[in-house]
Amino acid sequence: MLKRVVYLAADRVKNHPIRFRTAFQRDRDRILHSKSFRRLKHKTQVFIAPLGDHYRTRLTHTLEVSQIARTIARALNLNEDLTEAIGLGHDLGHTPFGHEGENVLNQLSPMDSKHNEQSLRVVDLMEKDGRGLNLSWEVRDGIVNHSKSRAKVLGSEWGKVSTLEGEIVKLADLVAYVNHDSDDAIRAGIIKESDIPEAAVKVLGNSPSTRIDTMVCDIIDKSWPVSGLSPIKIIPAPASK
């Protein structure tokens, strides 16, 4: 089923050129205005039925992933529009109640439910009464290949995305949920701030925002050497007289 969906690219409806938007900007906007994107606000992230308005939902998680990914893409001179489109669409097919919902669905159905594959089905086959969103191949590739399946980060089982922007979204997804899941757990009283290992706090920082900043800066710093390129040097403006 997945193979048939992935190669629907040949059947895409030809898009007409737009004066002020690139193809990836159009993809981003189509995702942003889709019904499946709006439905993310009703899907909880980790806590199945949290009491309160300040716990992450699948929608707020998606926005955090998109923001983190855009920051990395901009620093590495990659395509921000492509990165943002993949980030906004990566979880459109996720079940309610987080990964527990996916586990229950797998118990009820003989088919193996994977949210990344379902996300591709949503944008290809289910949106707009079966017509789909007609997204570009690069965005669809990033959506279906964003899942890490609990594999070791950057290990042999990490999976292959065809674009660097797709790789960025995979990392941004991890950065987002590692930090906001612990933040929500503290808010729920399941753990205390002091339960976070001292070694992690020493390296990453003592607040969610600091830890995200540390991880994002490290991803950017470590990405330039392997690219074989030199980062752009920012020349400070001359002091005013």
Does position 212 have pLDDT exceeding 90, yes or no?
yes
Query: pLDDT by residue (tens digit) across 104-124?
Result: 777 887 776 678 888 999 999
What backbone phi and psi angles, to 5 degrees, belong to 29? -70, -35
Compare 9 and 97 and report the one with higher pLDDT: 97
Least confident of 85-89, 124-128, 185-189: 185-189
| Domains identified in the chain and CATH numbers | 22-227 (1.10.3210.10)
Q: Confirm if 168 and 83 have CB atoms less than 8 A apart.
A: yes
Alpha helices in the chain (DSSP H): 2-6, 23-32, 35-39, 58-75, 80-89, 98-108, 115-121, 137-144, 164-187, 198-204, 208-227
Q: Output the pLDDT for position 7.
A: 38
Structure-token match 């379902």, residue found = 118
3-state secondary structure of 189: coil
Distance, in Å, from the CA atom of 216 to the CA atom of 19, rounded to the nearest integer, reads: 34
Please compute the mean of the pLDDT values over residues 34-56 and round it to a whole number. Answer: 82
Least confident of 9-13, 29-33, 81-85, 204-208: 9-13
Distance, in Å, from the CA atom of 14 to the CA atom of 4, rounded to the nearest integer, reads: 19
Q: Output the pLDDT for position 216.
A: 96
Does position 52 have pLDDT exceeding 90, yes or no?
no
Provide the whole-model pTM.
0.83
Does position 4 have pLDDT exceeding 70, yes or no?
no
Helix axes 58-75 and 164-187, enclosed angle (nearest 10): 130
3-state secondary structure of 1: coil
Does position 239 have pLDDT exceeding 80, yes or no?
no
Q: Confirm if 119 and 135 have CB atoms less than 8 A apart.
A: no
Confidence of residue 29 (pLDDT cuts 50, 70, 90): very high
Query: pLDDT by residue (tens digit) across 117-163?
Result: 889 999 999 999 999 999 999 999 999 998 766 656 665 566 688 99
Average pLDDT, the chain: 83
Does position 30 have pLDDT exceeding 90, yes or no?
yes
Please compute the mean of the pLDDT values over residues 214-218 and round it to a whole number. Answer: 96
Q: Output the pLDDT for position 236.
A: 66
**Which one, of 68, 47, 43, lies nearest residue 57 by Cα?**
43
Q: Output the pLDDT for position 157.
A: 61
Confidence of residue 183 (pLDDT cuts 50, 70, 90): confident
Helix axes 137-144 and 80-89, enclosed angle (nearest 10): 50
Does position 10 have pLDDT exceeding 50, yes or no?
no
Compare 229 and 197 and report the one with higher pLDDT: 197
205: left (phi over 0), alpha (psi -120 to 50) or beta: left
Q: Output the pLDDT for position 8.
A: 40
Q: Confirm if 102 and 136 have CB atoms less than 8 A apart.
A: no
Provide the token pair at 30: 């189509």
